[in-house]
Amino acid sequence: MPVAFAVLQVLPFAWAVGCVVAMTALLTAAWQRITDGVDPVQVAGPVGVGLVTVLAYRALDLESRARQAVAGQLAEEQHRTGALAERTRLSREIHDSVGQGLSSINLLLQAAEQAWEEQPATAREHVRTAAATARGGLEEVRRVVRDLAPAELADDAGGAALADALHRAAEESALGSTCGLDVAVRVHGEPVPVPAEVAAALVRTARGALANVREHARAGRVAVTLTYQHDEVVLDVRDDGRGFDPAAVRPSATRGRGLAGIRERAGALGGRTEVESAPGEGTTVSVAFPVAGGSGGDR
Ligand SMILES: Nc1ncnc2c1ncn2[C@@H]1O[C@H](COP(=O)(O)OP(=O)(O)OP(=O)(O)O)[C@@H](O)[C@H]1O
Ligand SMILES: [Mg+2]
């Protein structure tokens, strides 16, 4: 019997069946010779056992192959899903960090070129701001690739670094705007510790929403408001621009990833997103993330 299993393991199925049949026939013939005389039970016994062995092995073998195939498909599927999730994360983080910085640099350099002859001091200031933005952008690329929060958010116990980061995003946005956008930042409520990835999401959402204001809103004023409530932290970016119909937004191959990225990022961290807008009525983008143990009240 062990020899039969070894044969089934080593040879292709058809050959193995031949071998097992031949082995059974040989053994039966030898047994006939020893016992001298033909007993049908003695012939049928080994043949039956041989047959059952072959069929049982065949069934086991088929099942194990099917199981291996399913495991392989599962592993491949998991790999594909993981790679896709990472690609989506990188694309939205790059959009709202480096992408926004590059558009600021572009606008600042255009403004510098225009002021070059008449207002050299202003032009130099624009170039200096563009260079600082580029340096910050380089650092951000490294952090995005390593899935780290923006550098300015390291060791943020009292929420001061988060407020500073929002001020900086607002400043860059106002500087990068060519039509004198007024950007105000306000913090309401008593700050509570916010996980680094949530703080990073708040800053990147603000940057993404501000990039949209600068690019699409034709607004005069925009207010960035961070509110600590008892069980959540909320960020609103509200502009007084021309507004749009959020239900009518259709992403193209290369554009239209901004608002979707804001939604996906918030969703991935257990938060929610609202976009309120209508033509002629300005736009408010809000994200809210749950936090543990805060308190209400204005500051
Ligand atoms: N603050 C805003 N004011 C007016 N329209 C807006 C505002 N924010 C978004 N929109 C409209 O919503 C559309 C979708 O914005 P979204 O950020 O998703 O894509 P995008 O800015 O067109 O491209 P991308 O961000 O991928 O470079 C914009 O094309 C614009 O028409
Ligand atoms: Mg956008």
- 159 in the same domain as 74: no
d(CA 127, CA 106): 10
* Ligand 1 binding residues, C-beta < 6 A: 212-213, 215-217, 239, 241-244, 249, 255-260, 283
- 283 in the same domain as 170: yes
The two beta strands, 232-239 and 283-290, are: antiparallel
- 52 in the same domain as 155: no
Backbone angles phi, psi at 229, to 5 degrees: -105, 180
pLDDT of 173 reads: 83
Residue finishing a domain among 34, 49, 82: 82
Asked if 285 and 205 touch (Cβ cutoff 8 Å), the reply is: yes
Closest to 233 measured CA to CA, from 260, 200, 259: 200
- 284 in the same domain as 153: yes
- 257 in the same domain as 175: yes
Q: How many domains does the chain have?
A: 2
Domain-embedded: residue 135? no
- 49 in the same domain as 157: no
Residue finishing a domain among 66, 82, 98: 82
Domain-embedded: residue 20? yes
Q: Which ligand neighbours the alpha carbon of 243 most closely?
A: 1
CA of 222 to the centre of ligand 2 (A): 16
Q: Whose CA is nearest to atom 8 of ligand 1?
A: 212
Domain-embedded: residue 125? no
What would the mean pLDDT of 168-175 be, rounded to a whole number? 84
- 277 in the same domain as 169: yes
Predicted confidence (pLDDT) per residue in 188-222, tens digit: 999 998 999 999 999 999 999 999 999 999 999 99
Which one of 177, 224, 244 would you pick to mutate in the ligand 1 pocket, going by the greatest count of ligand atoms within 8 A of its CB? 244
Domain-embedded: residue 120? no
Residues 6 or more apart whose Cβ sits within 8 Å of residue 135: none
Domain-embedded: residue 110? no
What would the mean pLDDT of 152-177 be, rounded to a whole number? 83
Residue 188 belongs to domain with CATH number: 3.30.565.10
Which domain, by its residues, includes 204?
149-290
Residues 6 or more apart whose Cβ sits within 8 Å of residue 234: 225, 226, 227, 286, 287, 288
Predicted confidence (pLDDT) per residue in 250-278, tens digit: 888 889 889 999 999 999 999 999 999 99
Which one of 183, 216, 264, 276 would you pick to mutate in the ligand 1 pocket, going by the greatest count of ligand atoms within 8 A of its CB? 216
Closest atom of ligand 1 relative to the 241 alpha carbon: 3
Residue finishing a domain among 82, 112, 134: 82
The per-residue pLDDT of the chain, averaged, comes to: 86
Asked if 183 and 222 touch (Cβ cutoff 8 Å), the reply is: yes
Q: Which residues are within 5 Å of ligand 2 (an ion), measured at CB? A: 212, 258
Per-residue pLDDT band for 297 (boundaries 50, 70, 90) equals very low
